[in-house]
């Protein structure tokens, strides 16, 4: 049996970090124009799927505070089924490791993995481009997980230029707050006019995170994490927060810093990936 069509397997949904994130403008419809570099991490959620004969789409592991019908995995399964014209049912089981509202793309990654897995398991035959169109309707970060490579992203996050990044390990800290992305983008003091960079002109290490000052002002716990990290190494917030990260050349260096985190700061170490595990 082709392992990619195996109902028994586990399907990874990796985290992402934003090596930089600039807001370069705003469209008339209110969507913000962004530039960022996405990198995946060798750490994330995990999904399993089981066929159903009744045609229902059921989430066996609902998240606290999230109605199953609003869960991105359920919405992704419904969207794929409508687009492909199939009537199959499925039970979805999610092992959640990535924090909600953490800026690591957990929900988006879960949705993308659901689209990838069910496209194969249901033999839908949709192309990556077709899956990306479905994904963009679910959330701006979903398409990059379907694109599947570290990349410079533009627009509202749907135009990609692949990049080659040096090997790196990351210490990621998890502030005990959940940041609603919409709240950060609504903030009147958010900078929305950072000059655009041509993808070919971007250099590794260039840029900052325009969302970070807003998130830190609203959630001082993020600032506390960044202050602790920056007293030792360069650090940055990922996405709209809340998670923060520092980069290291070796796993040993990252683990050594993880080992001295104060008890009030939790985190994990992961390797940077240039290619999505699926």
What residues act catalytically?
A: 16, 141
Rounded CA-CA distance 85/119 in Å is: 12
Residue pair 143/36 in contact (Cβ under 8 Å)? The answer is no
CA R_g for the chain: 19
**Ramachandran assignment for 101, one of left (phi > 0), alpha (psi -120 to 50 degrees), beta (any other):** left
The strand pairing partners of 246, in sequence order, are: 171, 235
Backbone angles phi, psi at 228, to 5 degrees: -65, -45
Q: How far is CA 217 from the centre of its chain?
A: 23
Alpha carbons 250 and 159: distance in angstroms, whole number: 31
């Amino acid at each position: 049996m082709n392992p990619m069509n195996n109902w028994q397997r586990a399907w990874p949904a990796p985290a992402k970090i934003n090596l930089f994130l600039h807001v370069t403008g705003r469209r008339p419809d209110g969507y913000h124009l962004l530039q960022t570099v996405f990198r995946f991490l060798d750490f994330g959620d995990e999904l399993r799927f089981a066929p159903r004969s009744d045609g229902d789409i059921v989430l066996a592991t609902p998240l606290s505070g999230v109605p199953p019908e609003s869960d991105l995995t359920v919405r992704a399964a419904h969207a794929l089924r409508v687009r492909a014209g199939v009537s199959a049912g499925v039970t979805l089981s999610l092992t959640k490791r990535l924090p909600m509202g953490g800026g690591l793309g957990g929900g988006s990654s879960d949705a993308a993995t659901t689209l990838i897995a069910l496209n194969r398991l249901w033999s839908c035959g949709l192309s990556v481009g077709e899956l990306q169109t479905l994904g963009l309707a679910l959330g701006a970060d979903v398409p990059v997980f379907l694109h599947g490579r570290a990349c410079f992203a533009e627009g509202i996050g749907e135009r990609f230029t692949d990049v080659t990044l040096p090997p790196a390990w990351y210490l990621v800290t998890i502030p005990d707050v959940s940041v609603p992305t919409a709240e950060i983008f609504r903030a009147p003091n958010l900078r929305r006019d950072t000059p655009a960079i041509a993808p070919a002109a971007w250099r590794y290490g260039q840029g900052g995170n325009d969302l970070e000052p807003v998130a830190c002002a609203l959630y001082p716990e993020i600032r506390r994490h960044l202050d602790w990290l920056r007293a030792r190494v360069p650090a940055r917030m990922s996405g709209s927060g809340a998670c923060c990260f520092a980069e290291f050349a070796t796993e040993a260096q990252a683990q050594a810093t993880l080992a001295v985190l104060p008890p009030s700061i939790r985190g994990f170490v992961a390797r940077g990936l240039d290619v999505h595990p699926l």
